[in-house]
């Protein structure tokens, strides 16, 4: 008979989530529900009636880790609605910004993943804050990669976190020749660091994959199995690096293929919790005797593409554009590391091509007639889709389909077959960024809010 265990909250990722797991007598997950419990932000509603220039700045505030992706996706959705093409040099500055965001984000995720891992060839778990070598050198390398990413982002985007330079129609200003030279020098320095970091992390993840057991967040060890984190869902990605909009001749994302399912129709109903573990790290399992109700507690819709969940992110990009085929949670982790060098090389190419004397603002910026525009931006965690309708310069409708929203249902499938104590390792492989995923309220057929406690 299945038992039910709840892990709440999950840790070492952005935002707040929980796991509700049905497990068999051997502790293997038969069904897993991973859901957001981060309060709703209401970004789409805040944007209605605002100018098209304000809305992307509002949406970028939904998150402090991927604001560059949200800024670019929001702006390009508005540009898609009004039919505004931007100058080539503005596009190059956006490419540089995109690469800076990815470099910083991947390095940050390494820090969050390392405590689950071991130094290859040893039984020593990695503490990224240790002063011992080789971990100390790895930590310093990661911080330098993050510094390079954020400094270049600040130069191209105006701010290191929420970029102020991108605007509807291009960019507010080009960079100076001296700033271009500084970005180039930083990117060149980053190449050797990124290659070394990629090699180290891939060896760590392959080593973990080959182990027979793994520790539960630094605590006791459990046996693993050979298909840890596998799923049979498809992939969705629109570009190896940047993105795609409705203005592109070669459109690679199609709004008519997207549908939303209510949490009520997707997640488990009310369940009695019948299993807990006082030894689980941080005492994160809910005591037996309590109740879990995923379909009422989930804060996100469930987006589907062609009627099914899809995986987005590094592996999806590599699978669709480079024939990458490594499955499982570590297959995803390895794919993320493989993006390190390409990110720096793409950044250098864009800096090389940038003309600092070129115009970065469109000659004419239409005000829009209410047509649908969209942008699918390949954020570090996956495809970040923004859709907008702009009329007379003001936003009539706005929607965000962010990477972790796409990955929630796919991760739930990937949990099946794994030891429940290691479920968080699978979740962390997807580098979840949850805050920007909570963008809806749960209502019934009469539009009555049925999860009001989540939005108070």
Q: Please give the annotated binding residues for Ni(2+), written as ranges.
A: 63, 66, 433
Annotated binding site for Mg(2+): 44, 400, 439
CB 397 within 8 A of CB 389: yes
What CA–CA distance (Å, rounded) separates 12 from 183? 31
| Nearby residues of 188 by Cβ (< 8 Å), 6 or more positions away | 348
Would you call the peptide bond into 400 cis, given omega within 30 degrees of 0 as the criterion? no
- Annotated binding site, which residues? 44, 63, 66, 400, 433, 436, 439
User: Which residue's entry shows tokens 């070492």?
Assistant: 12
Helix (H, G, I), strand (E, B) or coil at 372: strand
Task: Write out the binding residues for Fe cation.
Answer: 66, 436
- Alpha-carbon distance of 283 to 94, in angstroms, equals 44
Contact 364, 370 (CB under 8 A): no
Residue with tokens 């996706």: 73
Quote the CA–CA distance of 243 and 254 in Å, as a whole number.
13
Whether residue 438 contacts residue 38, with contact meaning beta carbons closer than 8 Å, is answered with yes
Q: How far is the C-alpha of 42 from the C-alpha of 164, rounded, in Å?
A: 22
Cα–Cα distance measured from residue 306 to residue 99, given in angstroms and rounded to the nearest whole number = 29
Residue given tokens 């291009």 in the structure block? 170
Which residues sit opposite 386 in a β-bridge? 375, 400
Q: Name the burial class of residue 326, with classes exposed (0-12), middle (13-18) and buried (19+) by CB atoms within 10 angstroms of its CB.
A: middle
| HSE of 171, CA atoms in CB hemisphere, 13 A | 24
Contacts of 280 (CB under 8 A, 6+ apart): 7, 216, 219, 421
How far is it, in rounded angstroms, from Cα 122 to Cα 120? 6
Helices (H) and strands (E) in the chain, counts: 12, 17
First to last CA, the chain: 38
């Amino acid at each position: 008979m299945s038992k039910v265990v709840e892990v709440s909250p999950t840790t070492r990722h952005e935002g707040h989530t929980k796991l509700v797991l049905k497990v068999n007598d051997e502790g293997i997950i038969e069904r897993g529900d991973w859901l957001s419990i981060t309060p709703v932000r209401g970004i789409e509603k805040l944007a209605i009636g605002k100018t098209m220039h304000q809305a992307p700045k509002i949406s970028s505030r939904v998150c402090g880790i991927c604001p560059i992706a949200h800024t670019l996706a929001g702006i390009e959705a508005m540009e898609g609605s009004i039919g505004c093409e931007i100058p080539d040099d503005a596009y190059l500055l956006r490419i540089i910004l995109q690469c800076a965001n990815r470099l910083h984000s991947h390095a940050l995720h390494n820090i969050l993943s390392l405590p689950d891992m071991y130094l290859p060839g040893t039984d020593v778990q990695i503490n990224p804050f240790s002063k011992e070598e080789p971990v100390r050198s790895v930590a310093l390398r990661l911080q330098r990669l993050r510094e390079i990413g954020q400094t270049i982002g600040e130069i191209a985007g105006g701010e290191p976190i929420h970029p102020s330079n991108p605007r509807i129609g291009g960019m507010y200003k080009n960079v100076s020749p001296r700033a271009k030279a500084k970005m180039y020098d930083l990117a060149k320095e980053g190449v050797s660091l990124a290659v070394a970091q990629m090699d180290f992390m891939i060896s760590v993840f392959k080593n973990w994959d080959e182990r027979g057991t793994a520790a539960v967040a630094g605590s006791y060890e459990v046996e693993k199995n050979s298909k840890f984190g596998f799923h049979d869902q498809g992939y969705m990605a629109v570009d190896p690096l940047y993105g795609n909009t409705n203005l592109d001749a070669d459109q690679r994302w199609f709004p008519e293929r997207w549908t939303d399912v209510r949490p009520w129709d997707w997640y488990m109903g009310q369940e009695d919790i019948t299993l807990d573990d006082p030894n689980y790290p941080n005492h994160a399992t809910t005591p037996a005797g309590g109740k879990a109700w995923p379909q009422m507690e989930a804060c996100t819709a469930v987006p589907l593409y062609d009627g099914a969940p899809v995986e987005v992110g590094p592996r999806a990009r590599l699978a669709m554009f480079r024939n990458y085929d490594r499955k499982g949670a570590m297959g995803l982790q390895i794919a993320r590391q493989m993006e390190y060098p390409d990110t720096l090389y793409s950044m250098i190419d864009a800096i090389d091509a940038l003309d600092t004397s070129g115009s970065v603002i469109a000659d004419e910026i239409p005000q829009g007639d209410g047509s649908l525009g969209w942008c699918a931006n390949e954020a570090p965690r996956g495809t970040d889709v923004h859709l907008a309708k702009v009329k007379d310069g003001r936003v009539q409708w706005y929607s965000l389909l962010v990477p972790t929203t796409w990955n929630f249902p796919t991760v739930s499938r990937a949990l099946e077959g794994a030891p429940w104590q290691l479920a968080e390792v699978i979740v962390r492989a997807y580098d979840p960024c949850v805050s920007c995923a909570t963008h809806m309220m749960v209502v019934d057929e009469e539009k009555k809010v049925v999860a009001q406690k989540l939005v108070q």
